[in-house]
Chains A and B, each alone.
Chain A
Amino acid sequence: MPPQTLEQIMGGRRSQPNQLIEVLQDIQKTYGYISKEAMQAVSQGLGVPLIEAYGVASFYKAFRLKPSGKNVLTMCMGTACHVRGARLLLDQATGQLGVKPGEMTTDGLFTIEHVNCMGACALGPIVKENGSYHNHMSPAKLRKLIETLRHKKTEDNQNVQTQ
């Protein structure tokens, strides 16, 4: 699907405050996060006070208010993944990349996130790399995955930094 512009996302939803979460979801899907400008545009377009739009965006875990790295690694922290060592994976990623969950690495390549459950409990621990799922993960597999992504994106890395 081609990326939608803010105008397209808002299209047909103007002056409908109940569409706030839907609009924010679409903005995040397109831009990776919700910028201050986008939030102001949403507030105006839907007729929701800015404080309320910010309140909603900061209440729900799904929304990021800061840009995310080129690769978003999402660790599942659900019960089934937890008892199979999901914590080790989070330690591996945070240790290897030197950032905390929710933060982006300084080179703009990675963001680590954790969610409560991705619903693939039988295959845990699960790590989602951008859109694709990796099952039965171990710290060693995750380490390799991070290295692969780092090297694969060396060219893109230049682009990220110049953006």
Chain B
Amino acid sequence: MSRLNSTRELEHLREQLREQRRNITTTVMVCGGTGCQASRSQTVIDAVRDELSRQGLDTKVRLCVTGCHGFCEQGPVIIIEPGNIFYCHVTPEDAFEIVYQTVMRGEVIERLLYTDPVSGEKIKTESEIPFYRAQDRQILSQNLMVDPCSIEDYIVGGGYSALTRALNGMAPDKIIKEIKASGLRGRGGGGFPTGHKWSECKEAPGDEKYVICNADEGDPGAYMDRCVLEGNPHLILEGMMIGAWAVGSRKGYIYVRNEYPLAVEHSRIAVKQARELGLLGDNILGSSFSFDVDIARGGGAFVCGESTALMASVEGKVGEPRAKDVHTVIDGLYHKPTVLNNVETWANIPGIILKGSSWFTSKGTRGSKGTKILALTGHIKNTGLVEVAMGMPIHQVVFDIGGGAVNGNPIKAVQIGGPSGGCLPLDKFDLPIDFDVLSEAGSMVGSGGMVVMDGRTCMVDVAKYFLTFLQDESCGKCVPCRLGIDRMLEIITEITEGRGKPEQLDLLEELADTVSQTALCGLGKTAPNPVLTTLRYFRAEYEAHINEKKCPAGVCKALITYWIDPDKCTGCGVCVQGCVYEAITGGKKQVHVIDTQLCQKCGICQSECKFDAVQTVWKERHQDVAICQS
């Protein structure tokens, strides 16, 4: 395709492409996102493609390899339009039937339909599935329409119309006014008003300015940025172009984690395609606006999600944050005014420009507008990416969309916002997904990671997990973070090992308070949140570890031993094979025994026993054991 020199040429191309596709009667959308690829979706894609060409349907049926649909648990996933038919757990062997029955004859294959885990009913279409039904998928639904490697798909679907609207008749000030009016707040964690950021950057002195897309999604348990960048990279580019036009920038960067190889690849392809069409480069669509984007890969450092550390990393330096007495909108990348927004924030921009700020403000709460993508994972039936209007209560997300507890263990908490967020107990599940409300409760929306935890989770262990993570990820530049996290982890480790003292809980709170007030950057300031929220809502668990030397959930290794229940053991030998420390003995069909001297308490035997014979027992002083979990 040749370079487009005006808005009219873009519109002409759009019409042409639509005309070319007029003969297409059916579209088969196969998810090619990271999640479904892990479930071998590439083999399904190849099989469907072969089958379509065997049946001579290549020209009439469009096979669209899309980005993530969000319901990774059910992958590989296929949706067939028209009809919105949803097939899950598809294998290459199903390709013939899918093409022969569904594509050619419109018949539904019962076997491949989704079964609702709550009602047990088979569900035919995507829109009827409870997981999708309660959602408001403004951004995620666009993933279904496009092949991320095809700019044509994006253009056919109306892509880059927001850019043309911005360039033809929306002065930078008008755009900023619209973004401010929309109330859009940063989706990466901070929740800072995007319009204000842009306005400050625009007003900042200097001709050279930068816009950056933060795709360094280091928060363990969140993956919406991967999904959006990998599934619809042109949407992000379009958002960045509008941002660059508004603040007066000629150069942008997408800073993406190298752990997301598909996102790196797809964004590179998108940039190349946009350059070829003249949507990036000099005088975009014949206007006075010139802008280009480069991809910068991260190096696996969580702290680089912080704005100043990220900018140091883009410059090729060690990713250490600096004090933000002068904000990055004035002194950012290469000491120039810089706007840094998260992937999901950029993804919202084209929609706001096209449909107006009033459309955006029609969703959400007073202080939190629009929708938010949440990564719903952990001990629930339906895991995946969920996009809901801000303000939806947590319980609706967990129970209506997530389908509630899996394996019958009651849910006890949800961890929201990753290492900077906090754990909320069941009785706080009526709180809405709202920046300010969750902050007040000690947690935060953060990047939107929602890890649901059931009774098998020890909350002290969760706090320890996050502190271990943060201690490892602290860059070490400032003392409060470097030493404070270390000392907190030391105390929590003592508690989980049964050496804790009651007065340590006060010390822990004091330390947490000091770190949050004095650390240099966001990582340190929010690091105590997991500790503070677990102390606030699950203090009884801490006290059980300290006073009774018991881990109520049976997780903390130093406080438990493993024991094989002779009444349940069938002598199958699975645990003997599984034990890498050779701590289990017993012949075939004889009751097996764990040698507690050799046992390293890894728990592998328990996870592998099909007869529930390996039990966790509390370590008691006088050798007598009590089963703590049956």
Contacts and interface: CB of A to CB of B under 8 A. Distances in A.
A156 interface: no
A18 B300 contact: no
Given A17-B316, A140-B578, A92 B297 contact: no
A120 B299 contact: no
Contacts of A139: 578, 604, 607-608
Interface residues of A, number: 52
Chain A interface, >50% SS class: helix
Given A120-B38, A122-B383, A60 B299 contact: yes
B585 interface: no
B148 interface: no
A79 interface: yes
B604 to A, nearest CB: 4
B452 to A, nearest CB: 9
A126 B319 CA distance: 27
Contacts of A81: 220
Interface string A50-94: 001001100111110000000000000111111111011001100
A79 B314 contact: no
B72 interface: yes
B615 interface: no
A23 B603 CA distance: 42
B377 interface: yes
Interface in B572-587: 574, 578, 580-581
Contacts of A124: 377
Interface stretch (B47-55, B221-229, B541-549): B221-229
A116 B379 contact: no
Nearest to B218: A116
B415 interface: yes
Nearest to A93: B580
A138 interface: yes
Nearest to A83: B378
B259 interface: yes
Nearest to A143: B578
B244 to A, nearest CB: 19
Contact of A119 (B34, B318, B602, B607): B34
Contacts of A120: 34-35, 38, 72, 223
B220 A77 contact: yes
A115 interface: yes
A117 interface: yes
A107 B96 CA distance: 45
A80 B451 contact: yes
B182 interface: no
B316 A61 contact: no
B94 interface: no
Contacts of B565: none
A20 B299 CA distance: 11
A154 interface: no
Given A95-B602, A139-B578, A83 B451 contact: yes
A124 B39 CA distance: 12
A119 B37 contact: no
A59 B304 CA distance: 11
Interface string B314-337: 111111000000000000000000
A91 B580 contact: yes
A18 to B, nearest CB: 4
Interface string B32-74: 0011011100000000000000000000000000000001110
B500 interface: no
A126 B34 CA distance: 12
B453 interface: yes
Contact of A95 (B75, B415, B580): B580
Interface in A97-130: 115-124, 126
A82 B35 CA distance: 17
B40 to A, nearest CB: 9
A83 B299 contact: no
Interface centre among A55, A78, A85, A95 (most CB of B within 10 A): A78
B38 to A, nearest CB: 3
A21 B313 contact: yes
A133 B37 contact: yes
Contacts of B313: 21
A158 interface: no
A56 B38 contact: no
Given A56-B318, A133-B38, A95 B220 contact: no
A122 B72 contact: yes
B316 A123 contact: no
Contacts of B385: 122
B578 A134 contact: no
Interface in B594-620: 600, 602-604, 607-608
Contacts of A77: 220, 469
Contacts of B375: 80, 121-122
B39 A135 contact: yes
A56 to B, nearest CB: 6
B598 to A, nearest CB: 12
Nearest to A82: B465
B473 interface: yes
Nearest to A53: B316
Nearest to B295: A22
A4 interface: no
A62 B73 contact: no
Contacts of B220: 77-82, 116-117
B301 interface: yes
Given A80-B451, A92-B602, A95-B602, A121 B221 contact: yes
B74 to A, nearest CB: 9
A51 to B, nearest CB: 11
A119 B608 CA distance: 26
A27 to B, nearest CB: 13
A113 B297 CA distance: 20
22 contacts: A21-B313, A21-B316, A22-B316, A55-B318, A59-B301, A59-B319, A62-B298, A79-B466, A80-B383, A84-B378, A84-B379, A87-B603, A95-B600, A96-B580, A116-B218, A117-B218, A119-B34, A119-B223, A122-B71, A126-B38, A138-B608, A139-B608
When A and B form their complex, which 6 residue pairs have the shortest distance between CB atoms, in order from nearest?
A60-B299, A95-B580, A78-B220, A133-B38, A79-B221, A80-B377
Given A84-B378, A140-B608, 19 more contacts: A18-B314, A61-B299, A61-B300, A62-B300, A79-B377, A80-B377, A81-B220, A92-B604, A116-B302, A119-B217, A119-B223, A120-B34, A121-B72, A121-B223, A122-B375, A122-B385, A135-B38, A139-B578, A139-B604
